Amino acid sequence: MIAASPLPADAQIYRRSDPNGRQIWSDRPIDQPTAVYAVAGAPTQYSTRPIGISESPSAYDSLVVEHATRQALRPELVKAVIQVESGFNPRALSPKGAMGLMQLMPTTARQLGVRDAYDPSENIRAGTAYLRQLLDRYDGNEELALAAYNAGAGAVDRYGGQVPAFRETRDYVKKVSSRAGRQNAVSLAGGKLVVYKWLEVINGRAIPKYSTTPPAGASYDIVRP
């Protein structure tokens, strides 16, 4: 959910993308058709509540430019990371504990001296500094830096300096880099029946879909086994 009023610090934000690359944000898993609202300034973003003007993407332009300039980053790259990470919701908290606009993990936030990860200025300062560290580590390779931002530098290193073969990470890199991408299929051993769940936006509603084959281009959950 992206709301005009601040969300409590312990709010859980769920993000899914449909086969057309549109992202749906909610504070709960969507298990039935649910009305969604387009996010102004972010045409592929939908939330389960109307977004407030104070949380529009342009509200953070000055902070993005300031901190991107300090870290010698392209502002467009920083804004793309924020859009994919949090949908410009400064109170976003992922199920894994990533916080704020640039979804800082607690360890990263501590290492970068962040006192309040939900403060937009602190969050963008630290997020851009971390992104700069990763770009330096991978000789300016944005794809590897983005993969490390999503999955951790250790995962990139374990894959021999390549984008890890994780569905989420490869999708993330493509979405940030080009605002579109194709998901990799997931396979499970053991011969068990696998059921996939994803969401599609149809006539202004997020509709849960289920299949025994993974959808092309959509983020999905495995609901069985």
Chain-centroid distance of CA 184 in Å reads 17
Chain-centroid distance of CA 133 in Å reads 20
85 flagged as catalytic: yes
Q: Which residue has the tokens 């939900």?
A: 118
Q: Which helix (H) or strand (E) holds 79?
A: helix 75-86
DSSP conformational letter for 66: H
DSSP conformational letter for 213: S
**For the packed helices 75-86 and 61-70, what is the interaxial angle rounded to 10 degrees?**
120
Tell me whether strands 14-17 and 23-26 are parallel, antiparallel or unpaired.
antiparallel
* Annotated catalytic residue, options 85, 122, 142, 143: 85
Close Cβ partners of 117 (under 8 Å, ≥ 6 residues apart):
99, 100, 104, 106, 109, 123, 126
In angstroms, what CA-CA distances link 184 with 87, 194, 200, 213?
23, 15, 18, 12
Which amino acids are annotated catalytic? Answer: 85
